[in-house]
Amino acid sequence: MKHDFHLSYDIGALHLDVQAAFNDEIIVISGENGAGKSTLLRCLAGLESATGTIHINQRCWLDSSTGLNVATEQRGMGFVWPAAVALPWLTVEQNILLGAKHDDDKNVHTLCENFALHHLLGRRASMLSTGEAQRLALVRAMVGKPNLLLLDEPFSAQAPHVRRRFRAQLKTWQTQHNIPIIMVSHDAEDATSLAQQHWQMCEGQLKVKNNDDTNAF
């Protein structure tokens, strides 16, 4: 399925002016700090007051020319930000189930196994390490099978051998469910092993890169 956006947004000295079209695939965005990568994800999530258009799954989320702006909680998205957020007084399982549907028991179990959370389900979120909290945030974002999954450095707190395993699991999940994923990463291997499109962001502009071009990192 085709999706597209054309967005403009000003934050400080940065002028974001981006447009792209994509299918149900994994897109990795690279670029220098401050180029606008995370800001783009926040605009797609509806967390910033961008102007322009967003179309996902044949539904218009944003059309600033008509005043249409679907609220973040009504877009049916999953997202993981660099600082993983969980409700600290709840267990891992309770946090995950916040985003699950009633018939998702099998899906929850599979994701917890695949992302090494099965042995932590009864632990309070406040007792997790940084890497464990990051895995919790990722599984919680995936479990509801969102319309769009936005990931900002989702493996940054994982050891290199764990990152390789999780990349494979993410790719398998995306293939099974045909859910578009836009992922910000500074790791060249994320683009070479995951990306069906690789975008480089520079000073608020997007450029499509070849997958074998790692100079953007």
Nearest to 204, CA basis, from 48, 43, 35, 38: 35
Is 212 a residue whose pLDDT tops 60? no
The mean pLDDT of 120-138, rounded to a whole number, is: 95
Is the CB of residue 144 less than 8 Å from the CB of residue 100?
yes
Is the CB of residue 84 less than 8 Å from the CB of residue 156?
no
Is 155 a residue whose pLDDT tops 90? yes
Domain residue limits at 115: 83-145
Is 107 a residue whose pLDDT tops 90? no
Is 142 a residue whose pLDDT tops 90? yes
Mean pLDDT, rounded, of the chain: 92
Whether residue 87 is contained in a domain is answered as yes
Contacts of the segment 20-23: beta carbons below 8 A, 24+ positions apart? 20/199, 20/206, 20/208, 22/180, 22/182, 22/197, 23/180, 23/196
Nearest to 122, CA basis, from 100, 91, 87: 91
What does DSSP assign to residue 91? B
Is 217 a residue whose pLDDT tops 60? no
Whether residue 126 is contained in a domain is answered as yes
Whether residue 106 is contained in a domain is answered as yes
The pLDDT assigned to 45 comes to 97
Q: How many domains does the chain have?
A: 1
Total residues belonging to the chain: 217
pLDDT band at 208 (very low <50, low <70, confident <90, very high): confident
For residue 51, what are the CA distances in angstroms to 3, 10, 207?
A: 17, 10, 20
List b or e across 165-195, with b for residues whose CB sees 16 or more CB atoms inside 10 angstroms: ebbebbeebbeeeebbbbbbbebbbbbbbbb
Q: How far apart are CA 214 and CA 172, in angstroms?
A: 23
Whether residue 100 is contained in a domain is answered as yes
Higher pLDDT residue, 97 or 210?
97
Whether residue 29 is contained in a domain is answered as no
Is the CB of residue 61 less than 8 Å from the CB of residue 75?
yes
| Class of residue 124 by CB neighbours under 10 A (exposed 0-12, middle 13-18, buried 19+) | middle
Tokens of 45: 């999530």
Whether residue 176 is contained in a domain is answered as no
The mean pLDDT of 105-127, rounded to a whole number, is: 92
pLDDT band at 144 (very low <50, low <70, confident <90, very high): confident
pLDDT band at 153 (very low <50, low <70, confident <90, very high): very high
pLDDT digits (tens, 9 = 90+) for 11-29: 999 999 999 999 999 999 9
The mean pLDDT of 169-175, rounded to a whole number, is: 96
Is the CB of residue 95 less than 8 Å from the CB of residue 102?
no
The mean pLDDT of 145-169, rounded to a whole number, is: 94
Whether residue 133 is contained in a domain is answered as yes
* pLDDT > 90 in the chain, percent: 84
Tokens of 194: 């995951």
Dihedral-angle region of residue 31 (phi above 0 means left; psi in -120 to 50 means alpha; beta otherwise): left
Whether residue 110 is contained in a domain is answered as yes
Backbone φ and ψ of 168, nearest 5°: -60, -40
For residue 208, what are the CA distances in angstroms to 22, 62, 72, 149, 216?
A: 11, 23, 27, 20, 11
